[in-house]
Amino acid sequence: MIKTLYAFRHGETDWNKQQRFQGRVDIPLNETGRQQALRLREFFKENPIEVMLSSDLGRALETARIAIGEQEIPLVIEPRIRETNLGDVEGMTHEEIIQKMGREVIENWRSISAETQDSRFPGGESKAEHLARILAGLNDFLKSTSYTRIGVSTHGGALRRFLHHIRPEQTEGLMVGNCALYEVKFDSAKGLWDVDLEAKCINP
């Protein structure tokens, strides 16, 4: 059976606007983020889903609720698809991290190469650990339910990591904007993933 996931990043927050590393810090949507989420609502009116799976962080949950709108579908919270635990750098900007830890630390974190997947910030989790829990959360949900059309409200880092896992031949790092949505296919019989890397609901 083929299952379709509409996986999207949450709307903008003030920390996104300020280019601060958010991680697990529970920063709410700003007004721009709420308006962005309304575009998702229009998408889901035309592309109905049976269930919405969401990270437990407020910015993802609020985006999911706005996207659902008046549709009477269940909202399921899955903490394992939340953003990376970024440890000591949460709340810092790129420049602040470079000044404190050096440019190589940021470059390793941004890299999609296999050699850097064990990279982590002090006190945080590695990219490999993050991907493993995302996949565990999604696989457990997909195997335990019969839903075939699923919304997934998650985070920029989580979505980039997931998409690069599905398409390892993608050598350029994906830029995932707020509320960008990707159509992902899961073959439950073979346990195989596929994805259309052309994002939908891109904000102007």
Residues labelled as active-site residues: 10, 83
Q: Which residues contact 148 (CB under 8 A, 6 or more apart)?
A: 1, 2, 3, 4, 50
Token pair 């985070």 is found at 155
Cα angle for residues 191, 84, 64 (degrees, 5° grid): 75
Token pair 């635990």 is found at 85
Angle, helix 31-46 to helix 58-68, in steps of 10 degrees = 40
Residue 140, SS3 per DSSP: helix
